[in-house]
Amino acid sequence: MITSEIASALFWHDDADGVLRWAFTSAKFKRNDIVGTKTSSAACHTEYRQVKLFGKMYKVHRIIWLMKTGSFPDHYIDHIDGDGLNNRWSNLRSATPSQNMMNQRVRSDSITGIKGVSFDKQRNKWYAYINVDGKRKMLGRHDVLEEAVAARREAEKRLHGEFTGANR
């Protein structure tokens, strides 16, 4: 495992654009080149950068966290705007697994485009739900889509607080 001292010797973080860059030139890269390769995470439907160091893969945002705080976070690092490639320090925060899930993007197969709102074909109604601590809480069925969306958004504010996603 790398330390903050090793990370600071290998890289520098440009907070203006959120990019981690190499601090020196080698046979494989040049000084100031962007660190890592883009990778997709099927579980959360987003892209991140990762790099292999000393035989182990690291997500770039975790290295940035290490460099800024001196240690790796206990759990996850949440990208506040939902963009896994935006590694500006102001866009990163420590999060529990549950909090990290609250800020995930809406699924690409969503018919509503709103997280936590679906259509019940059998009842011909829109229904809203929200997940809290790994459990789904039903927020009711509604005749009108906008009512279901309003129920979901109110529950997000109340139950998810600062980790409320932008319903991307």
Please report, for the chain, the start and end positions of each structural domain, with discontinuous segments joined by +: 4-95, 106-163
Same fold, 4-95 and 106-163: no
Least confident of 6-10, 136-140, 141-145, 155-159: 155-159
Strand order from edge to edge, sheet including 117-120:
117-120, 125-132, 135-142
The predicted structure's pLDDT at residue 41: 66
Q: Pairing between strand 92-95 and 76-79?
A: antiparallel
Give the C-alpha separation, 3 to 14, whole Å.
19
Question: For position 161, what pLDDT does the model report?
Answer: 78
At 168, the pLDDT band (50, 70, 90 cuts) reads very low
CATH of 4-95, one of 3.90.75, 1.10.287, 2.60.40, 1.10.8: 3.90.75
Sign of the C-alpha dihedral, residues 97, 98, 100, 104?
A: positive
For residue 115, pLDDT over 70 is answered with: yes
How large a percentage of the chain has pLDDT more than 70?
Answer: 95
Distance between CA atoms of 48 and 117, rounded to whole angstroms?
Answer: 27
With 0.85 as the threshold, say if the pTM is over it.
no
- pLDDT per position as a tens digit, 43-64: 556 789 999 999 999 999 999 9
Q: How many helices (H) and strands (E) does the chain have?
A: 4, 10
Chain position carrying tokens 């102001």: 90
50 beta partners:
37, 59
The domain made up of 106-163 has a fold known as GCC-box Binding Domain (3.30.730)
Q: Which residues is 53 bridged to in the sheet?
A: 56
pLDDT of residue 132: 83
